[in-house]
Amino acid sequence: MRVAALSPSGTQLAGLMMHEVPAHAQRVVELGAGTGVFTRALLASGIAADKLLVIELNAELHAYLHEQFPQVHVVCGNACELKAIATGNGFIATDLADAVISGLGLLSMPRSVQKSIAESVFSVLKPEGCFIQFTYGPKSPLPQDLLDELGLSVRRGGFTWRNVPPASVFVYTRTRSEAIHAVRS
């Protein structure tokens, strides 16, 4: 229950998650990396180790990830503090992230924590960036009223029966754009 998973994510789920990472993505954040299934897949897909920031709250899993991926920025921290973490270690000093992928158990979290995580995620993403989340439920783990409040939209990216338990992938993006001001010439 502490890691919100019955078993490590399978290869089919990892494939679905990687399919949703934008083709142009270079800078990626991973939340709740667990045993590193998605970390390995991100590296195998061409994300450079120094352009990957992994946040894991569980100290034992953090130590394991740090040992397995010594070139990756692996931080023991809370996803609610993502902006402070990414700023503090210089990860977003030159550019924001193209994507954030997550294995966090959002379904089991209070709405206030879900909101804090979503706000933190979108604070480190480029305007066209995406938040890719898997869940064991059939619906988006972030409720529609929260998406409306934050100006986000969601689409289902895929579903796999082969994962234990079966899992869905959801992709969140901004629906609001910044105001465009008229310019007279």
At 54 the pLDDT is 98
How far apart (Å, rounded) are the C-alpha atoms in residues 158 and 16? 6
As a whole number, the mean pLDDT across the chain is: 89
- Please say whether the beta carbons of 86 and 51 come within 8 A: no
pTM reported for the whole predicted model? 0.89
Domains, the chain, in order of start with CATH, read 11-174 (3.40.50.150)
At 32 the pLDDT is 96
Whether the per-residue pLDDT at 5 is higher than 60: the answer is no
pLDDT band at 178 (very low <50, low <70, confident <90, very high): low
pLDDT band at 162 (very low <50, low <70, confident <90, very high): low
| E strands, the chain, in order | 28-31, 52-56, 73-76, 97-102, 125-135, 152-160, 167-174
pLDDT in tens, 86-131: 999 999 999 999 999 999 999 999 999 999 999 999 999 999 999 9
At 3 the pLDDT is 42
Q: Which of 90, 94, 36 is nearest to 60 (CA)?
A: 36
